[in-house]
Amino acid sequence: MDTPGNRRDYQSVYLRRAYSDSGTVRNETVANLSMPPQAAIAAIEATLKGHTLVPACRVHDRAGAMTTACRSPRA
């Protein structure tokens, strides 16, 4: 509880792996991902699930070819 009575919610994000040690399953925390922004955590999670990430400025044209649609911020 917070001083004025408000409840605080904390969220922790951990990258963990499981392995077998002499027939016993053990867990190991590889990294604490609580501090990066949510977008970075989502990108790491998607990559670990096997998804291919492309920059937001890259798009597919109607033929399916990859094209660059980025514009310079100063242009």
Q: Is residue 73 in some structural domain?
A: no
H-helix or E-strand containing 24?
strand 24-32
Q: Tell me, yes or no, whether 9 lies in a domain.
A: no
pLDDT cut 70: percent of the chain above it: 69
Q: Residue type at 69?
A: A
The count of domains in the chain is: 1
- Give tens-digit pLDDT for 33-63: 989 999 899 999 999 999 988 776 666 666 6
Question: Residue 56's domain spans which residues?
Answer: 14-68
- At 49 the pLDDT is 93
Q: Is residue 2 part of a domain?
A: no
pLDDT digits (tens, 9 = 90+) for 17-37: 999 999 999 999 999 998 999
Q: Is the pLDDT of residue 65 over 90?
A: no
Cβ(33)–Cβ(13) below 8 Å = yes
